[in-house]
Amino acid sequence: MNIVKRKIKKREYYYLKYSYRKNGKVTTKEKYLGKEIPRELKKMDKELKKESKKMEKEKLDAIKKNFQKEWNKIPKSIQEKELQEIAIAFTYNTNTIEGSTITLEETREITKQHISPHKPLKDVKETEKHYQVFLEMLKKKEEISNKTILEWHKQLFEETKQDIAGVYREYLVRVGNYIAPDWQDVKKLISECIDFMNNNKEMNPVELAARSHCQFEKIHPFGDGNGRVGRLLINHILWHAGYPILIIEYKKRSSYYKALQRGEEEFTKYFIRRYVGVHKKYI
């Protein structure tokens, strides 16, 4: 249950929005409250949000605890193989979201057997590079910096997009109807984003990953490759804080893009729901 504010003809109106499950389906309804929120509902809303936040924290803590318990039982040699499989799945999905033609099985053949399919050389090279960068990122814990981000980008695209690899943009970019910030503000905005990541370690890492990713994508600091670098940032934060990674699946990219368009608060809610849903076996 939550209270929704809507502006109609410059006036604000409040509605009580709530969901319930019936016959296996979730139904959402709204009830009009008026131009002001009743005092008792304000208190109830605050208490419900507090309780919801507490339950969310308990779930995320359980995911970390039980994942680590399971992961530490695995022998080191098997952990290495598991990381390779994770890297294959992550590389396939993140590159396919950005238009790669390489299939999941071809990703495995390229990275593990060094077999190149009859596909564009650009897609093959970017698959190889992403796999390598992702594995190295998981194994090497370092504080996020401009140097880290630029190095990731350079390694990802040094063989396919030499003119932009490892360089922040100095021109305007747009994504659909969204126009990214002026290029002259990119370095300042990225530095602020990096400070946010490194100075909010008390925030739950899942929330931190969501907010950092949303901020990074809004800046769009590169001419191309922002999504791939942004999703590396997500999993750098998660993995090095002891949490399992999150793969944004190609087939579910639509909800991911829609959530990004709704802004940081809505994206964070979406991200945490998605994360808990993917890792519910650890709860």
In a domain, 4, yes or no: no
Report the pLDDT value the prediction gives residue 36, as an integer from 0 to 100. 84
- Active-site position among 130, 153, 220, 279: 220
Neighbours of 125 (CB within 10 A): 17
Report the pLDDT value the prediction gives residue 267, as an integer from 0 to 100. 97
Which residues fall within 8 angstroms of residue 1, CB to CB, at 6 or more apart?
16, 17, 18, 19, 45, 48
The Cα-based distances of 227 to 57, 76, 96, 204 in angstroms read 27, 31, 11, 22
In a domain, 29, yes or no: no
In a domain, 228, yes or no: yes
Domain that holds residue 120: 54-282
Number of domains in the chain: 1
In a domain, 261, yes or no: yes
Taken as a whole, the chain contains a residue count of: 283
Whether 240 is a known active-site residue: answer no
User: What is the pLDDT tens value at each position of the chain, 283 positions in all?
Assistant: 678 889 988 899 988 887 766 666 767 888 888 888 877 777 766 776 777 788 899 999 999 999 999 999 999 999 999 999 999 999 999 999 999 999 999 999 999 999 999 999 999 999 999 999 999 999 999 999 999 999 999 999 999 999 999 999 999 999 888 999 999 999 999 999 999 999 998 999 999 999 999 999 999 999 999 999 999 999 999 999 999 999 999 999 999 999 999 999 999 999 999 999 999 999 9
Q: Which helix (H) or strand (E) holds 8?
A: strand 2-8
Domain with residue 100: its CATH number is: 1.10.3290.10
| Distance in angstroms (rounded) separating the CA atoms of residues 283 and 175 | 37
Report the pLDDT value the prediction gives residue 190, as an integer from 0 to 100. 98
In a domain, 264, yes or no: yes
In a domain, 81, yes or no: yes
In a domain, 200, yes or no: yes
Report the pLDDT value the prediction gives residue 185, as an integer from 0 to 100. 97
DSSP secondary-structure letter at 7? E
Report the pLDDT value the prediction gives residue 23, as an integer from 0 to 100. 67
In a domain, 28, yes or no: no
The Cα-based distances of 36 to 15, 39, 40, 283 in angstroms read 10, 9, 12, 39
